[in-house]
Amino acid sequence: MISSSKRVSVEGHLLHQLTLMPVGEVRFAVMFYHGQGDHADRYQEVLHPFTERGGMCVVMDLPGHGWSPGRRGHISDEDLLDRIIASCMEGLEELPLVVAGHSMGGLLALRHLEQSLAGKLRRPQMMWLSSPLLDPIQDRPKWFVRGVRWLASLVPELTIDTHVEEEMCRMVVPVSSQADRSREEVDQRSGAKHSQLGHSRISIGWAVLLVEFAAKVQACVAEVPKSLPILLTQGSADEVCPAEKAQAFIKSLDSERAEYFELDGLLHEPFADERSHLVFAALDEWLDRTLPVVIDPAS
> For 8-65, how does the pLDDT look when each residue is reduced to its tens digit (9 = 90+)?
999 999 999 999 999 999 999 999 999 999 999 999 999 999 999 999 999 999 999 9
> For 244-297, how does the pLDDT look when each residue is reduced to its tens digit (9 = 90+)?
999 999 999 999 999 999 999 999 999 999 999 999 999 999 999 999 988 877
Top pLDDT among 191 and 261 is at 261
The reported pLDDT for the residue numbered 57 is: 98
The span from the CA of 16 to the CA of 121, in Å, is 22
Is the pLDDT assigned to residue 196 strictly greater than 60? yes
Q: Which of 117, 114, 56, 119 is nearest to 88 (CA)?
A: 56
The reported pLDDT for the residue numbered 165 is: 87
Backbone angles phi, psi at 31, to 5 degrees: -100, 110
Helix H, strand E, coil C: the string for the chain is CEEEEEEEEECCEEEEEEEEECCCCCCEEEEEECCCCCCHHHHHHCCHHHHCCCEEEEEECCCCCCCCCCCCCCCCCHHHHHHHHHHHHCCCCCCCEEEEEECHHHHHHHHHHHHHHCCCCCCCCEEEEECCCCCCCCCCCHHHHHHHHHHHHHCCCCEEECCCCHHHCCCCCCHHHCCCCCHHHHHHHCCHHHHHHCCCEEEHHHHHHHHHHHHHHHHCHHHCCCCCCEEEEEECCCCCCCHHHHHHHHHHHCCCCEEEEEECCCCCCHHHCCCHHHHHHHHHHHHHHHHHHHHCCCC
The span from the CA of 3 to the CA of 19, in Å, is 6
The CATH number of the domain holding residue 66 is 3.40.50.1820
Top pLDDT among 299 and 59 is at 59
For 27, 29, 32, 112, the CA distances from 21, given in Å and listed in that order, are 10, 9, 13, 22
When pLDDT is cut at 50, 70 and 90, the band that residue 173 belongs to is: low
Is the pLDDT assigned to residue 201 strictly greater than 90? yes
Mean pLDDT rounded to a whole number for the chain: 91
The reported pLDDT for the residue numbered 263 is: 96
> For 146-163, how does the pLDDT look when each residue is reduced to its tens digit (9 = 90+)?
988 999 999 999 999 998
When pLDDT is cut at 50, 70 and 90, the band that residue 299 belongs to is: low
The reported pLDDT for the residue numbered 46 is: 97
Q: Answer for the pair 264, 127: CB distance below 8 angstroms, yes or no.
A: no
> For 103-121, how does the pLDDT look when each residue is reduced to its tens digit (9 = 90+)?
999 999 999 999 999 999 9
The reported pLDDT for the residue numbered 181 is: 45
Domain count, the chain: 1
The reported pLDDT for the residue numbered 189 is: 43
When pLDDT is cut at 50, 70 and 90, the band that residue 298 belongs to is: low
The reported pLDDT for the residue numbered 183 is: 36
Across 72-81, 186-195, 284-293, least confident range = 186-195
Backbone angles phi, psi at 220, to 5 degrees: -105, 5
Q: Which domain holds residue 290?
A: 2-295
Is the pLDDT assigned to residue 171 strictly greater than 90? no
* CA atoms within 13 A of residue 19's CA, in its CB half-sphere: 17
Q: What is the pTM of this model?
A: 0.91
The reported pLDDT for the residue numbered 184 is: 46
The reported pLDDT for the residue numbered 193 is: 54
